[in-house]
């Protein structure tokens, strides 16, 4: 390969790179000039290329001459009968085709990101969401938006709020009631509370358990700071039934609470979704008279303009029939 051709190739590669600028004079060269050039180079006929580009032939010829002038080389040999690429034209064609493919891909990615079809979604949640909401919502969202990456983090509500305000979380799932003036919190799912007992407990033989029948029991609960509103709701239910529960063990982890109950360390009150994972040694019984259902909510910062977030909220509400 000649030294002159090497210089031309280096010039073309610079021209077609991330900073597409005129090598000789420093003026910007537009992508449309590359599109015009590629059309003529592939057709080797100005008339067919003009028709393909939906422009008139004279302006196309002018743009090609301007491109040749800007990069300082001839790209075509022209005669009345035929059009041929020069060595410089062949070198530019390869690079220009790659550049246009990459440019089109970049535009498509930007458009899809604008529609919420690609991106990253950071989700904070309490463990019960894995049982009640995620099996319903995540597969539906994945079908519609397969290129969105999920980052799932178990985070207590107070920390969810802080991360949502700071933009470190896109969305949170938490037990209600919970409030934060800076955030939007929407109830999305409700389910009954159950009495969770060791299978050897005398009440385990009953089909349903009265809440007041648990007045003398030791309780295994989560720490109040883990979900203050939800914790206070449980305590208030017990007080309305005539007793103050005696927590003897606390854990933030759902599976640890179930294990402690199975070991006979106490009883608990948990949402119905735990029946999907209730381990050996544990029984779950409905409460009578029935107490109010527990609710799961979705929390997000409405100031967050992420289209991925908006798409996820829409799918969540539609899948769980929120507002219908």
d(CA 258, CA 281): 9
pLDDT in tens, 232-241: 999 999 999 9
> In the CATH hierarchy, which fold is given to the domain comprising 193-292?
D-Maltodextrin-Binding Protein; domain 2 (3.40.190)
CATH 1.10.10.10 describes domain 3-111: yes
Q: Per-domain residue ranges for the chain?
A: 3-111, 118-189+296-319, 193-292
**pLDDT score, position 115:** 64
Helix (H) or strand (E) holding 42: helix 31-43
- Pull the structure tokens for residue 100: 């246009």
Instruction: Give every CB contact of residue 33 below 8 A, 6+ residues apart in sequence.
Output: 63, 66, 67, 70
**Alpha-helical regions (H) of 205-320:** 228-240, 254-262, 307-319
**pLDDT score, position 46:** 92
- Pull the structure tokens for residue 102: 């990459």
In the three-class reduction of DSSP (H, G, I as helix; E, B as strand; rest coil), residue 37 is classed as helix
Measured CA to CA in angstroms, residue 252 lies from 190, 259, 271 at distances of 21, 13, 14
CATH number of the domain located at residue range(s) 118-189+296-319 in this protein: 3.40.190.10
Residues in the chain with pLDDT < 50? 1-2, 4-27
Instruction: Give every CB contact of residue 262 below 8 A, 6+ residues apart in sequence.
Output: 198, 199, 279, 280, 281, 282
3-111 shares its CATH topology with 193-292? no
């Amino acid at each position: 390969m000649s030294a002159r051709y090497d210089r031309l190739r280096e010039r073309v590669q610079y021209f077609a790179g991330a900073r597409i600028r005129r090598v000789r004079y420093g003026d910007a060269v537009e992508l449309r000039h590359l599109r015009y050039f590629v059309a003529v180079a592939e057709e080797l006929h100005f008339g067919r290329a003009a028709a393909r580009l939906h422009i008139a032939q004279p302006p196309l010829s002018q743009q090609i001459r301007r491109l040749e002038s800007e990069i300082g080389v001839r790209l075509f040999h022209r005669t009345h009968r035929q059009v041929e690429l020069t060595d410089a034209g062949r070198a530019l064609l390869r690079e220009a085709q790659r550049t246009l493919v990459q440019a089109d891909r970049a535009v498509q990615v930007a458009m899809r990101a604008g529609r919420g079809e690609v991106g990253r979604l950071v989700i904070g949640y309490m463990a019960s969401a894995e049982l009640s909401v995620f099996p319903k919502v995540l597969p539906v969202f994945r079908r519609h938006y397969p290129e969105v990456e999920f980052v799932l983090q178990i985070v207590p509500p107070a920390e969810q709020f802080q991360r949502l305000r700071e933009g470190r979380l896109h969305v949170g799932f938490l037990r209600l009631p919970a409030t934060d003036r800076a955030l939007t919190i929407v109830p999305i799912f409700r389910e009954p509370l159950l009495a969770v007992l060791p299978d050897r407990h005398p009440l385990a033989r009953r089909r349903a358990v009265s809440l007041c029948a648990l007045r003398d029991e030791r309780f295994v609960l989560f720490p109040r700071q883990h979900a203050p509103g939800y914790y206070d709701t449980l305590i208030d239910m017990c007080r309305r039934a005539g007793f103050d529960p005696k927590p003897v063990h606390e854990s933030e982890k759902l599976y640890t609470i179930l294990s402690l109950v199975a070991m006979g360390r106490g009883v608990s009150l948990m949402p119905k979704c735990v029946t999907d994972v209730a381990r050996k040694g544990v029984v779950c019984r409905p409460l009578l008279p029935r107490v109010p259902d527990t609710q799961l909510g979705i929390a997000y910062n409405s100031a967050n303009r992420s289209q991925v977030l908006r798409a996820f909220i829409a799918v969540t509400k539609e899948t769980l029939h929120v507002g219908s």
